[in-house]
Structure 1
Amino acid sequence: MPTSEEATRLLQLSRDAYDRGDALLHLQAEVSRLTGQPSSWGSAENDFVSDDHVGYFLSEVERIGWRLEHTGYTFVESGATTSARMLSTGTGVVNHGHVAGYFTFRRVG
């Protein structure tokens, strides 16, 4: 989920590209995050948090003069935590990472 500083930076990139006369704009922004802690039982305690303001951010980019043409998403893993299970064999795994949204815009007019 982009911080306000990251959103400001991406909006400035959008304005600069529009002012240059670029035909296409491609932005990447974090749209959700997967985090967690190992539990005392050795199982996964994952937590998924999504950004409900992505649509607002995309609307701001369109107000500059861009139209959203294509989106894509990918999970970017940043690591995992494992812990031994207490009453069984094996380990519990907690994955960490975020979902990156890739947004391609076309210049209007």
Structure 2
Amino acid sequence: MSSTLGSYIAARRKQLGISQKELASMIMKEDDERPITPQYLNDIERDRRQPTSDHIISQFSEALKIEADYLFYLSGILPSDVRNANIPREDVVQMFSAFRRTAK
């Protein structure tokens, strides 16, 4: 099991038989809808950079046929729908506590 977002993306890409250049061409930036560069993907796979937006993580999810929630978990960030949910502090604490109990 890969422990970082980058190592997981690299392993999954290889499992699917996709080159870095091919995968990079499938991941569109949100601001100009142009693909990311193979160098940017290489930096992500080597954990030198993190995806800059939820949009890019979602693009990886589609291209690699994996649930976006797992990629968000590996990236260490919450997706925007969760971040923007305005959940009361007490509920957040309870949710994280429940998550920790089930993750053991």
Q: Please state which band the TM-score falls in when normalised by the shorter chain.
A: under 0.3
Computing the radius of gyration over CA atoms, which structure comes out larger, 1 or 2?
1
Instruction: State the structure with bigger RCO (CA 8 A, min sep 6), 1 or 2.
Output: 1
Q: Normalised by the size of structure 1, how large is the TM-score?
A: 0.22
TM normalised by structure 2 equals 0.23
Structure whose residues are more often helix by fraction: 2
